[in-house]
Structure 1
């Protein structure tokens, strides 16, 4: 998503060795046995939660990537991803500038941070690491609807920057690719499932996002999404629920973003957790949240 301005100061990662587009070699051989052990621990915990709480596309994509035994090699994953949707992974030091991020997405290149969190950061991390980026995001790149949405999102970046509406576009990514929910049919009927990487790479938020009865969930509406503020220091207070992943690309393709930007770029965002007049929260039973 649009990210903080990048400098080598205050951010983790070896920015000095990055190319002009902020890519660099993954240098897979530099990962230590302790790092691979840490990955296996994180993978075991999160994949167990994903088995019951993650969207079908995520579970299927994770199985195809076969990355349970250690930090994956991007070149090996690229063979799977390219065959499925034409995307490829590129290694980056960490946060990268907005324009560079959009350029990568517009050309079906997904930036993946190459460093791994430390042992004391297993439950909370300020910056995205290779586990968040690969485990959380890459399985969904195998779904054609998400793959197409991300390319379209990358192409939308230039307009948002030109109109001073980058915050609005960022919210669309935040509430879908990072913290999106979907309602899926299963063996026991309809159920809430997570597909956002910020949810699925966090043990606590995986449960919270789909199980907590008090949190506000709303039907997906891209205009409402782009007006809604979000939290970076705790679990989200609002989630948006898709009927299908195809809804992402269909609604974004049909939406003229320019009027939304012109109207909303100077307006304060709707507070996280706020229900606006006339809105009905999403529930599986079709009734308002308690």
Structure 2
């Protein structure tokens, strides 16, 4: 069996801080009872509405119904499908989540929803991740679609507003699952999410892709608008919404097209509309249609300007292979719209093939970076394509005064001190005593500023979100200490765990204990779930009547859970 440590060791260093170790002993007897109740209930309620692959996948991905699965068990099954699993703590930064997915790693939140939020929780939990996402990995077409989504998602450009919303939603999920949170705490967290969602901010690439992910991977339907089944993990892991979504009068069903990008979503509330795809092939077509318009594919001035507006760190990829990672602060274009000079502001990294160039990290380029883009006069090819001997014939050699005249009118004049080459291509020139001017004589770089490192390349072929080498230039802080897995349990609730344990022992041994059943029947302080498990085991008419009374006098959520459970037991008994 592959251990979590083995999986972690195979992943890049910048992803490892986001991985948690599943402490299986930390799950309480009530946690296992919550899992068991919900998994049995979901299997029953989804029997006619879930896509058939769901039930096949539950069996093939190590998702048992009786107890919370161990990550190692899931891993053993996923490995047969070419995937792996890691435990994480709740919400991840979107780009991190997508990179796991791109690497065919299923990130599974280690916590389980609280007893108080069994119907729905805004926080990712092990029910949502394992019983929602994992089953469909048995479908090769869907697994390839999910991996491709990760590849695009990890390269999408986010803006500062995206990160603010991520932090706010994460905080909301924490306070909602914390038993010590007051209603004022919850209201404050909800208000912050609502405030950010209501801000008039143009959606970023990452935000648009997140919408597509939500309306497909999380809340997708497959089939036709009037004849569909569920495949979205968010629906498959929600007892309430997996049922309410089937009401075509209350929830509008729309054919999946790129118009889904125009539809925002609220993670804290039921969705008023859902999108129906015809097949995995259709999913992939819609994804690729959006993907080919992303900055990481189109490059050029428009991509640079979009990234500059986002105000976040991006990686600029020259056609020579050189990568520049930083926040773009200026893009100079020529009269026909070609980018001819760029500047970054603040820490900047130079890299090649996603590995930082020695000496060109964010400490060295702490104040930013600037460089021209384009070809030189009287040179027929990109400067990157010339050999060292060919450069000499153009009077370009180390330790000499060099003047470079670009077609754009930019001029670079200084002493060439070094040339960095990779794979027989020039990617970076460094100059001392260097002056850089534009066509009007404006100074773009002054000798007093130090060494001028000039990126080589006549085109920007890609602009992607994040840094090139995230180990050397990390994008995200270590995960918060406010872990969503940490639930505060009252002493009163903890005292009831013995009953869950005794009932599980009886069930597994297929024994009965009338004395224990009577004790549970006559103790009004016990959880309704204990009484339900006792009734399931004993079929006591008195316990059934008691559960019906509890349901009629409880909140809507508890009433739905109890009535649904009794209905399932009655149906499966016949």
TM-score category, normalised to shorter length: 0.7 to 0.9
Map of 1:210 onto structure 2: 246
Partner Cα separation in structure 2 for residue 87 and residue 257 of structure 1: 28
Partner Cα separation in structure 2 for residue 169 and residue 233 of structure 1: 19
Map of 2:266 onto structure 1: 231
Partner Cα separation in structure 1 for residue 64 and residue 145 of structure 2: 25
- Asked if 1 retains the 8 angstrom alpha-carbon contact of 2:158 and 2:207, the reply is no
SS of 1:111's partner is strand
Q: Does 1:257 align with 2:293?
A: yes
- Asked if 2 retains the 8 angstrom alpha-carbon contact of 1:105 and 1:150, the reply is yes
Partner Cα separation in structure 1 for residue 63 and residue 90 of structure 2: 24
Partner Cα separation in structure 2 for residue 158 and residue 25 of structure 1: 24
Q: Does 1:78 align with 2:75?
A: yes
Partner Cα separation in structure 1 for residue 15 and residue 259 of structure 2: 37
TM-score by length of 2: 0.39
Cα drift, residue 79 of structure 1: 1.9
Partner Cα separation in structure 2 for residue 97 and residue 211 of structure 1: 33
Q: Does 1:178 align with 2:213?
A: no
SS of 2:121's partner is coil
Map of 2:403 onto structure 1: none
Q: Does 1:165 align with 2:202?
A: no
Gaps of 5+ in 1: 1-17, 185-189, 267-290
Q: Does 1:247 align with 2:274?
A: no
Map of 1:8 onto structure 2: none
Partner Cα separation in structure 1 for residue 90 and residue 268 of structure 2: 19
> CA-to-partner distance for each residue in 1:188-235, whole Å, 9 max, x for gaps?
xx83111111111111211122233342111111x2111211122321
Map 1:107-146 → 2, pairs under 5 A: 107-146=103-142
Partner Cα separation in structure 1 for residue 41 and residue 129 of structure 2: 16
Q: Aligned in 2, Cα 1:66/1:153: closer, same or farther, shift over 3 Å?
A: closer
Which is bigger in relative contact order (C-alpha 8 A, separation at least 6)?
1
Map of 1:272 onto structure 2: none
TM-score by length of 1: 0.76
Map of 1:60 onto structure 2: 56
Q: Aligned in 2, Cα 1:93/1:242: closer, same or farther, shift over 3 Å?
A: same
Cα drift, residue 78 of structure 1: 1.6
Cα drift, residue 254 of structure 1: 4.7
Partner Cα separation in structure 2 for residue 246 and residue 82 of structure 1: 24
- Asked if 2 retains the 8 angstrom alpha-carbon contact of 1:135 and 1:201, the reply is yes
Map of 1:5 onto structure 2: none
Cα drift, residue 172 of structure 1: 0.9
> CA-to-partner distance for each residue in 1:211-266, whole Å, 9 max, x for gaps?
33342111111x21112111223211111101112321233235423289989999
- Asked if 2 retains the 8 angstrom alpha-carbon contact of 1:193 and 1:210, the reply is no
For the aligned residues, what is the CA RMSD?
Answer: 2.7
Which structure has more helix as a fraction of its residues? 1
Q: Does 1:40 align with 2:36?
A: yes
Map of 1:198 onto structure 2: 234
Cα drift, residue 19 of structure 1: 7.2
Partner Cα separation in structure 2 for residue 118 and residue 162 of structure 1: 32
Equivalenced residues, count:
242
Map 1:2-21 → 2, pairs under 5 A: 20-21=16-17
Q: Aligned in 2, Cα 1:124/1:252: closer, same or farther, shift over 3 Å?
A: closer
> CA-to-partner distance for each residue in 1:39-58, whole Å, 9 max, x for gaps?
10111111111211101111
Q: Aligned in 2, Cα 1:135/1:162: closer, same or farther, shift over 3 Å?
A: closer
- Asked if 1 retains the 8 angstrom alpha-carbon contact of 2:36 and 2:65, the reply is yes
SS of 2:240's partner is helix
- Asked if 2 retains the 8 angstrom alpha-carbon contact of 1:43 and 1:68, the reply is yes
Gaps of 5+ in 2: 1-13, 160-203, 310-574
Partner Cα separation in structure 2 for residue 31 and residue 218 of structure 1: 40
SS of 1:67's partner is coil
> CA-to-partner distance for each residue in 1:3-57, whole Å, 9 max, x for gaps?
xxxxxxxxxxxxxxx9744002112233222211111011111111121110111
- Asked if 1 retains the 8 angstrom alpha-carbon contact of 2:109 and 2:124, the reply is yes
Partner Cα separation in structure 2 for residue 250 and residue 74 of structure 1: 32
